[in-house]
Chain A
């Protein structure tokens, strides 16, 4: 076997191996891969709430566009239909029908559920106080609500339990159904069985809701024009995935067609085009396989976006093809450009390697994908392409592209001053920037369109469901311990509710008290004879009918003997609530206590800290999400700095001269400076995606500058070299420029940054790195060593 054939055979074998790994890798679309891996406990709560919390499963539905009476009928029909959907855990439209099981449960177990069941309450004087209070209530406005339960519950345990459930004002209702305050929308609340981030299941649930609405609308007279509005985390997740897919597919296709068209126009040979793209394809396959091997799954975004990131490997073939002069061989060209090509690729790898250490699994995957992809594409260019290029390979004519940069190179020295002025202007612009450079709101990274966010706010306002911002979270080693901790926190929170520090809260122990608390409450109930005697004593001086409280005696006797309440006894709707407030993660149990109407967060936090419970923390979700964003930003800055440092070290090792390093680095730094100034002009702010884009400018732009700088040492072939750079840059600008039209912040931000930055680095490289020009700072240093050219 000849050597090229051997190379080809080995290569094919490697490709087959990669394909085999790829075939077995799973492609995931779970967006949480782009949430951090190792957050603090408080952040873990945020992430869990976002991922699986009850909040994530809640969809708000609004029906509008018909007279209110028709909407009411439609709301009932729709609720009935949705109630039959297995994908939905619960459906509410305001009609109070399904609560009976829950009320019955609370009533039957009131003596273990009520935190007010303590021995003092069942002494003669405790009972007397309760009864006197009852007599007052009987003559008050609450009487109609209490009358029925009074004979069985004179100590008012049910009222204590119900009071704790009391939320903010209930939603406005009309004909017994929830409506927006202006009666223009009938409102429904739906809970899906699947978590908000199970996008496939959410999509199915949404489709079933749409079908149910269509059917309900046809059944309802006068509702032909009615519309359904749906909002909630599930809708956002489905919407985001759809836009991501649409944008990725549409924009990648446009970019691919444009780049292939350009290359075909230059190469004038489909075969050359195919060969030129083959390193990219091999690299993508290898990158895919590497990520599959390392992580066990490949994220959809890694796949789509990774190919874009390693897009600079298209340039490798361009350099080879466009720099091969007529009557020379590709092998000779390779030998000539290899050191530059190799160093350029290494700098890019160094840049991307920073991403490997990101706490986002998604970014780590992207890093591995692009590094593997670049290295394989480089190897393919070095060893595969020469073996595959046809004999008598016709050199590519692309001199036209070289005109402008060549002109810049010739006038480099004269252009230094304008460039310096431009940089000073950019620096001044940056210095005058006010209000911080960073987008300081997580929602700014959100791919959800403003319109949808507004609808969400409007419907939430209508139904009176404010976002939960403050929580107390407590973790423990067992379910029982978590419930006990939750009870300690609940006690403190009840006191705070009394002091009006908060207006209310929810807690898992409300639905399932710890076994210890249940035993204590049972022990607080006196035996029958004692209770009879005390009750008799307590009734003295009050106006109650003598035998009125017989049911009370029966119920207390039963409660004393009742087996302990367990999780399986809790009726479905309350069980769902309990499930969202009491979570098992690994071997740890977490109790979540959402707070309502927090007036003084500071004092609440102090009160919780004063409990001395190590596992219990007060969490401000807004502050945590802001922290999270700042952590991401700090990490992104740190990784970018490390990446830049590694690139500097690499260049120093590869070029072995501080001046040469400076010649390469100066235009890159200048491009980054100008790009930042452009992005933040007019008060604009940077996202972490912009920062990733800046790293890419350095990774890709360093190739150009290295080639320009090499012109100082290897004169000749200038025209071909420059033409190949322009062609490569055009491909990059097309690829990323098209991305900047995306509606998704990550694609838009990176696309815009890289397209602008690489174009700048091409021109600045021509002015500063190439022999015609000498960077201002380097001018002095180099002048002392050698005569100016």
Chain B
């Protein structure tokens, strides 16, 4: 590519940026950061992949456990969590079905049939999808922080869910999710940190 066309490209994107500013003045100014706005931002994401490291404290075990692998999200409702260490496994969610593959075995569940696993899956997927209606149906949602460092707290509404989950805290920056912390009713805790590699 020649330098002449590079210059043209720069000029053109400058014009485009000016047009955008004119069309969406809100985006140009700092504005009060709300749930609606965060969800709208998250809805822009069509796909995202990232590496995760998960640290778990389980009441049945004397020692904490660590796992790591890759997360893949495809809007609006597909999600995969591929654990590489300590053992390979893949959790895949598509529509209302969860498939867990490990040790050469594949098991499928209907999320609705398995609230003990559905609760976690739905909370993360609905957040990724910017689906406030679904989050609202199951959790009391509160947002703190600003666009650059936001914290979402999900506390279950129904008794059935409360018997399983105490709360879920999701933290992020802009359109990216950085941490997912869960505390279960039986005292098990997990903290998952995500380093995003690709977001579109």
Contact = CB atoms under 8 A, between A and B. Distances in A.
State yes or no: do A and B come from one complex: yes
A223 B81 CA distance: 39
Interface residues of B, number: 35
A140 B87 contact: yes
A544 B108 contact: no
B107 A163 contact: yes
Interface string A287-308: 0000000000000000000000
Contacts of B149: none
Nearest to A168: B108
A147 interface: yes
A543 interface: yes
Interface in A152-174: 163, 166, 168-174
Contacts of A150: 60
A141 B89 contact: yes
A499 B113 CA distance: 29
B109 interface: yes
Interface stretch (B34-42, B95-103, B124-132): B95-103
Given A163-B107, A166-B108, A170-B109, A144 B116 contact: yes
A413 to B, nearest CB: 79
B83 A545 contact: no
Interface in A118-159: 135-136, 138-145, 147-148, 150-151
Contacts of A171: 110
Given A96-B112, A170-B109, A176-B112, A544 B60 contact: yes
Interface in B49-79: 56, 58-63, 65, 67
Interface residues of A, number: 33
Interface in A164-215: 166, 168-177, 181
Contact of B60 (A147, A169, A181): A147
Nearest to B58: A138
B15 interface: no
A771 B139 CA distance: 98
Mostly helix, strand, loop or mixed at chain B's interface? Answer: mixed
Contacts of A143: 58
A176 B81 CA distance: 23
A140 B89 CA distance: 8
A544 B102 contact: no
Contacts of A412: none
Contacts of A151: 60
B47 to A, nearest CB: 21
A177 B112 CA distance: 8
A548 B96 contact: no
Would you list the 3 A-B pairs with minimal beta carbon distance, nearest first? A176-B112, A170-B110, A141-B91
Given A136-B87, A145-B114, A169-B97, 9 more contacts: A143-B58, A148-B116, A150-B60, A173-B96, A175-B112, A543-B62, A544-B60, A544-B62, A545-B60
Interface of B: 56, 58-63, 65, 67, 81, 83, 86-87, 89, 91, 95-97, 100, 102, 105, 107-114, 116-117, 120, 164, 186, 188
Interface of A: 94, 96, 135-136, 138-145, 147-148, 150-151, 163, 166, 168-177, 181, 543-545, 548
